[in-house]
Amino acid sequence: MRWLLLKDLQILRRSPLLVGLLIVYPVVISLLIGFALSRGPDKPKVAFVNEVPEAEQTISVSGDRVDIAGYSDRLFERVDPVPASSREEALKMVEDGEVLGALVIPEDSARKLQRAVALGGSADKPTVEVIYNASGPLQGQLVQSLVDSTLAEANAAIGEKITQIAAGYLNILLRGGSFSLFGQDFDILGLQDTEKILGQQAADLPQGSAQRAQLERIERFARLAVENLGFSDEILSSISSPIEVKQTPVGGSASTSLASFAVAASVVFSLMFVCVLLAAGMLALEREEHAYGRLVRGLVSRGKLLVEKVLLAAACALPVGLVMLVVVALLADLDWGGAPKWVVGVLAAGLAFGALGVAIGAVAREVRAASLLAFGLSLPIAFLALVPAGTVADALYEVIRVVSAAFPFKPALNAMDAALNDNGDLWPPIAHLLALTVAYVALARIALRRFG
């Protein structure tokens, strides 16, 4: 078996194109994954509870009506809203994974917003609540970034509205004009004109008279006011975030951040491609080079041949996985103390992916067919494993969980997440991977019956 292993490594060394492909492909895939993860799936389901009484759905900002619902519509452009009747119901939906998160607009928020934007303002800002499932890093991050960006938009829009209205008043104060309140029109003089009139008046008065000195004082004040109020547009626009957000994570404790989760996912993706393709391809190659018959007539047992290919995959997984991790650790802050766990995780993943590979190779029998099958099977399995709870129907999610558990991607991801991010126990996913290794080698052994 040792000689076969050496032979395979020698063949690999002499196939730079194949090895290049095996390295380049995972890197490309990892980049794509990183991109996909940072974008998140389209339109996640979010429960929506609006406790604001019907009558308060619009607030008035200095006489202009602003429709609160208009702002929640913006949010709904990006999510699939699921109406919930109460905060409790929404909480339960998040816990059960029916929805990715929930947005709760409390009963008093319209009133508070009204007060906050009234001239004079109020420190007590309205607070909307975001409830999200923190059991997976994808979920939490997804809802957070979604809500953050939407609320920032809503805040900016409300702030802009206030600025517009206030700036209108200031303009009248500065330059004068007409202004209507309670159905009556008022003509306002404006500070600029006031300054001009005062200046003329002062010039008409005799030099050194007490009245002229007083008028000049008022004129100076008006000029100063004109000059300084010119800046107030900018001052006003700095009014920001009239709405505050309270975040309530449900389930799961210190969950992995998306960035470090993406590292684990990229590493597992690379391992999957390298190991599955290598084991499947190298097994099929034995048949394609007609060496299989020669080997199994007493030189190597069929079982040992399979084990050799699985070990080959794991042996190649180690440098690929560790190089990726070391590079990441140098660039980002990975805890070097976990390095022994990385090795365990990478090796176990390599074995399980290698075992899946030999099963594929034994069934497909030809290198090309094996590679095709390896791709065709691995990609959907990996994407399935990345589907966050709450983005699909319950029953479908159950199916996805079962399917994911039958393939090494999900447990490998859990193992790497545990090893890299100290998120959860390392040993259950390792045991899962080893069980899958045994199962797939056994499957491959059965498939070998019609291999020769």
Q: Which residues bind other proteins (CB under 8 A)?
A: 3-4, 7, 10-11, 14-15, 289-300, 452
Q: Rounded to the nearest whole angstrom, what is the least distance from the CB of residue 286 to other proteins in the complex?
A: 9
CA dist 370 and 106 (Å) reads 57
Which of 282, 356 has the CB closer to other proteins?
282
Q: Rounded to the nearest whole angstrom, what is the least distance from the CB of residue 452 to other proteins in the complex?
A: 7
Which of 4, 94 has the CB closer to other proteins?
4
Which of 300, 420 has the CB closer to other proteins?
300
Q: Rounded to the nearest whole angstrom, what is the least distance from the CB of residue 326 to other proteins in the complex?
A: 30
CA 265, distance to chain mean position in Å, is 13
Q: Rounded to the nearest whole angstrom, what is the least distance from the CB of residue 300 to other proteins in the complex?
A: 7
Which of 195, 308 has the CB closer to other proteins?
308
Tokens linked to 91: 């909480």
Which of 15, 211 has the CB closer to other proteins?
15
Q: Rounded to the nearest whole angstrom, what is the least distance from the CB of residue 296 to other proteins in the complex?
A: 7
103 within 8 A of 75, measured Cβ to Cβ? yes
